[in-house]
Amino acid sequence: MATETRGEAAAKDKGKPGKKRTSPLLFYRQVVAELRKVIWPTRHELVTYTTVSLIFVVIVVAIVFGLDNLFSWLVLKLFG
């Protein structure tokens, strides 16, 4: 089966000749079937997740910027 890529099933089939590959059409059908199972976020949830992510990134950038300035100032005081 196309989804058996790890574990015992993949290990025991590895050395067997004649293992059939999944056709592109079957692969496409499996992808579409899996995408139908996905619970897509609502617009409100999407906006909320995006806002939280952007705020988090801005905070981390500010922390890294502050530490970079602090360390460069310290290095210049010690060696400059």
Is the domain of 54 the same as that of 77? yes
Cα–Cα distance between 55 and 61 in angstroms, integer?
10
Are residues 72 and 48 part of one domain? yes
How far from chain centre, in Å, is Cα 31?
Answer: 18
- Report pLDDT digits (tens) over 18-76: 678 889 999 999 999 999 999 999 999 999 999 999 999 999 999 999 999 999 999 99
pLDDT at position 24, please? Answer: 94
In this structure, the answer to whether residues 32 and 4 fall within a common structural domain is: yes
Q: Whole domain around residue 19: which residue ranges?
A: 1-38
Do residue 74 and residue 55 come from a single domain? yes
pTM above 0.85, yes or no: no
pLDDT at 14 over 70: no
- The DSSP annotation for 48-78 comes to HHHHHHHHHHHHHHHHHHHHHHHHHHHHHHH
Cβ contact 40:12 at 8 Å: no
69: tokens are: 């300035």
